[in-house]
Structure 1
Amino acid sequence: MMKILVVDDEKEMRQLLKIYLQQENYQVEEAADGSEAYQKILKNDYDLMILDVMMPLMDGWETIEQVRKVSDLPIILLTAKGAIEDKVQGLSTGADDYLVKPFDAAELIVRVKALLRRAKKANDSDEWLKYKGITLNLAERSVMYEGQMINLTQTEFDLLEMFLSHRGKVFSREQLVELIWGMEFTGDDRTVDSHIKNLREKLHAFGIDKSFVKTVWGIGYKVE
């Protein structure tokens, strides 16, 4: 049974999410703030986390930053803010997806299933990808560059795997949304741009030129 951690300072919201998820046979644990969530993640294994932004003690942004130091756990950011800047900030911080309150139960479940499906697909693989000093271990979902470990989120890893598996192929934003998130994704395809930016910056921090992932103007992205 898949285990999901629900993090929200509002008890009513945690209970609502728990009802939706348990109806789909997910095991659910709760945390009332980011600090409690972080401690739970250090001690337990979860398949996914649903995380609210506006919380006391440790808000969603800080929680993501702390969690990403120890885990590539898939994260859905739950926010009452619908502005594109807030969505971009969430994705830039390390979330894999976002959902704006008030949300529809069916949309929540679709997004949860899409993220879990991607994680399972990755865990079922035992292949390696190597290119220009970069090594992807698809079973462990780890990335090495010249002996140094690069920590990527699940979405960043999926994008890099897609590019390295199809070197030279140009992927449009729409294609990447379909391949990475699935046909059911209802978000803005500018989400792709945020994740590409994060991926470039993380690779660049280890000496890989930002043009490694090339922008093909008017079309999309590729790796030569």
Structure 2
Amino acid sequence: MSTLAFTQEKNRTILIVDDEQPMRELLQLYLSTDGYHTETAVDGEIAMTLIRHKKYDLVLLDLMMPKLDGFDVCKAIRNVSNVPIIMLTAREDTIDKVVGLKLGADDYMTKPFEQQELLARMESIFRREKYLQEDMPVANQPIVSNQKIDYSYDDLRMNIQTHQVFYMERELSLTPKEFAILRLFLSNKGRVFHREDMLELLWNNRPVNDDRTVDTHIKNLRDKLSQAGIPGQDVIKTVWGTGYICNETT
């Protein structure tokens, strides 16, 4: 029986984007045995057509495909949706992984991979998603049940109930991971977070190129804040040799 009880209850649907039929069928087998619904796309163009007309809970996206490669598809998805993306690649080049993260992927896996690792990565993403939908405990402070939580930094405001972030009157389009990072810092102003802290809290402490993963997501978030008009380096400051901090506003 699957351990992802909350996943099955929500009837999550996963879009598999891969041009190789054996891989699509293998992924469908992996996911169906664990209670997921699946749909497939053989190339990036078909994937984008599906994503524009239907809501998915997660996308498994192959990197090397005809017509549109995984990088182009990831970028196109992020223009229309914040759906979590796990990028799949047969290449172990670090640069590919970094580019994928910069374009908005939430995670990546190198082929071949084990079924249980894939399911664990997916479970981690859904657990964080569920975690963000509930009241996130502020470090060293008691949890107040049924309390509406609103975090802010000057004119930057976060609405937990609706999963929206605004600067002035403009809404920012953040990925689930970027939302989680921003919430972590806004709810713990003045606290320095080591990269290891963030991996434990937001990535389930998984063994990857840790520093690069955290730094890339921080950079993406800062860029979006800067594009909206608030300097991202002001909201999340680098503590050299240690980690990151969100200072109290004055």
TM-score range, shorter chain: over 0.9
Alpha-carbon deviation of 1:130? 1.8
Matched, 1:220 2:230: no
Q: Distance in 1 between matches of 2:156 and 2:188?
A: 15
Alpha-carbon deviation of 1:174? 0.8
Alpha-carbon deviation of 1:67? 0.9
Alpha-carbon deviation of 1:186? 2.4
Q: Distance in 2 between matches of 1:22 and 1:95?
A: 23
- Identity in percent: 44
Could you list the runs of 5+ residues in structure 2 that have no partner in the other structure? 1-10, 136-147
- In structure 1, the residue matched to 2:66 is 56
1:4 to 14, 20, 31: 14
Query: Alignment partner of 1:25: what SS?
Result: coil
Alpha-carbon deviation of 1:124? 4.0
Q: Distance in 2 between matches of 1:73 and 1:138?
A: 17
Q: How many residues in Structure 1 have an aligned counterpart in Structure 2?
A: 223
Alpha-carbon deviation of 1:139? 2.4
Q: Distance in 2 between matches of 1:4 and 1:164?
A: 31
Q: Indicate the larger mover: 59-68 or 119-128.
A: 119-128
Matched, 1:106 2:116: yes
- In structure 2, the residue matched to 1:82 is 92
1:161 to 183, 195, 202: 183
2:106 to 86, 93, 96: 96
- In structure 2, the residue matched to 1:186 is 207
Matched, 1:30 2:52: no
**Which amino acid is 2:237 matched to?**
K
Query: Alignment partner of 2:229: what SS?
Result: coil
Matched, 1:142 2:164: yes
Larger radius of gyration: 2
**Which amino acid is 1:194 matched to?**
T
**Which amino acid is 2:163 matched to?**
R
1:209 to 228, 231, 235: 231
**Which amino acid is 1:6 matched to?**
I
Asked if structure 1 preserves the Cα contact closer than 8 Å seen for 2:151 and 2:159, the reply is: yes
Q: Distance in 2 between matches of 1:11 and 1:133?
A: 49
1:113-149, Cα deviation, whole Å (9 max, x unpaired): 1111112222345632222111112222221101111
Matched, 1:172 2:194: yes
Could you list the runs of 5+ residues in structure 1 that have no partner in the other structure? none
RMSD: 1.2
Asked if structure 2 preserves the Cα contact closer than 8 Å seen for 1:122 and 1:139, the reply is: no
TM-score normalized with structure 1 length: 0.95
1:160-200, Cα deviation, whole Å (9 max, x unpaired): 000001011111111101101113x2222120000011111
TM-score normalized with structure 2 length: 0.86
